[in-house]
Amino acid sequence: MAARQDTAVRHPHLPEGWLEAPLGTVADVRFSSVDKLAYPSEEPVRLCNYLDVYKNDYITGDLGFMGASATQPEIDRFGLQVGDVIVTKDSETPYDIGIPAVVDYAAPDLVCGYHLGLIRPDKAEIDPTFLAKQLGHARIAGYFAGQANGLTRYGLPIGSLVAAPLWLPPLAEQGAAGRLFRLVDQAITQTQAVIAKLKQTRTGLLHDLLTRGLDENGELRDPIARPEQFKNSPLGKIPLEWTVLNIQQLLANVAHPFRSGPFGSALLKSELKPAGIPLLGIDNVHVERFSGDFSRFVGEEKLRELQRYAVRPYDIMITVMGTVGRCCVVPHDIGTALSSKHVWTVSLDLDRYSPSLACWQINNAPWVLRQLRRDEQGGVMTAIRSETLRALLLPVPRLQEMDAIDAVVRESTAYIAREENELDKLRLLKSGLTSDLLTGRVRVPPDLLENPA
């Protein structure tokens, strides 16, 4: 306590009771020398490595630490204890240094690995979770970036880490803030796990729906129990009621139902404008999601000349260059916009085929990938030719079944979207807590100080 008071200062921007103190006055700081190699003459250990720290806020027992070896003095010096804080000390960018993680799990053979700094806080002076959040704050990140040395790889000197200027409230307030941070982090982790599980379930559901469909009772057909409900086709076994058609046969009876825009040929780059009619391209097409971020435009006077490239609501757009084969549906409220080069825009007959079903097929179905690989060159799919896309075979359920499939997938998608929305809210809450509680702009409520549980 005396050591901190000797070096702590009353910062003018901090609230009453807060002090600014160097990290080294409230913690012991060590840089690990334990590499990833294993030597017969050394003791076998498990290493907490760079990525274990970089990717996690907390070091837990389920991370799957790698095996290595260390001398007994290294184990004594760099063995982990619950409540330690580990930070990255090297990186390819100066703004990626000092990423912290709190140690929640320790074992006699678990050791801090190379390229990491091991910080052992004096728990009578500083709460470990509050310390980790302080080290991860933008204020300290900026300090680390300014202290880092290097040209192509940057390293933080141990003296700079020891001197890192912490803003410290009273210990009880630190502990209460740390508990709040952990509650939010736990909620974020749980929500992420739910989203990952839902996406995995949706992937399996999509595969079943696209290969088995739904019977008249809304149930998935079973090719094992009811093989008579299926037939062979060029795409493999499909439900008996389904047919197989190519995209050319499914086009709408409209002018120019299959098109790619003129950007880069008839339309010169010099004709682009800062505003006007949006040009839709690869950047607007994500897997099953249309992005309405527009960055290229042409003037209104070009509309008549380029009318054949206008997109329609519920068109599907397919990328044919770069990351080829991504597909999404154009939203109903698109307004006036034009298709540009490197994207095929297709108008389907909505009475015969669902645009959503087409995109789910193109984005997910293995038989679609097999057909698109006709354009591979040297094992790499670099583009999709018009004739390949026109000849792309798709299984075609009856319209009523397509609607039922569409409803099931949309419900699953909406469930994931709701969880992702909750995750965004939690991340926003965490950002606000970090900004408020680590700077003293908002103090921890008194009832949390009095009731730590």
pLDDT, residue 6, reads: 59
pLDDT, residue 29, reads: 97
pLDDT, residue 152, reads: 83
Confidence of residue 302 (pLDDT cuts 50, 70, 90): confident
CA torsion sign for 67, 73, 75, 78 is negative
Confidence of residue 270 (pLDDT cuts 50, 70, 90): low
Taking only the tens place, the pLDDT of each residue in 414-447 is: 999 999 999 999 999 999 999 999 998 888 887 7
Confidence of residue 1 (pLDDT cuts 50, 70, 90): very low
Checking if the pLDDT of 267 tops 90, the result is no
Confidence of residue 134 (pLDDT cuts 50, 70, 90): very high
Average pLDDT over residues 144-162: 92
- Average pLDDT along the chain: 90
Average pLDDT over residues 13-36: 93
Confidence of residue 116 (pLDDT cuts 50, 70, 90): very high
Q: pLDDT over 70 for what percent of the chain?
A: 93
pLDDT, residue 444, reads: 83
Confidence of residue 3 (pLDDT cuts 50, 70, 90): very low
pLDDT, residue 373, reads: 78
Taking only the tens place, the pLDDT of each residue in 352-370 is: 999 999 999 998 888 888 8
Q: pLDDT over 90 for what percent of the chain?
A: 70
Confidence of residue 265 (pLDDT cuts 50, 70, 90): very low
Confidence of residue 381 (pLDDT cuts 50, 70, 90): low
Average pLDDT over residues 177-197: 96
Average pLDDT over residues 376-395: 80
Checking if the pLDDT of 378 tops 80, the result is no
Range with lowest mean pLDDT among 56-65, 134-143, 280-289, 443-452: 443-452
Taking only the tens place, the pLDDT of each residue in 56-88 is: 999 999 999 999 999 999 999 999 999 999 999
Checking if the pLDDT of 109 tops 70, the result is yes
pLDDT, residue 384, reads: 81
Taking only the tens place, the pLDDT of each residue in 336-350 is: 999 888 899 999 999
Ordered by where they begin, the domains of the chain are 2-168 (3.90.220.20), 170-224+399-453 (1.10.287.1120), 243-396 (3.90.220.20)
Residue with the bigger pLDDT between 263 and 187: it is 187
Range with lowest mean pLDDT among 51-55, 150-154, 309-313: 150-154
Range with lowest mean pLDDT among 50-54, 101-105, 260-264, 293-297: 260-264
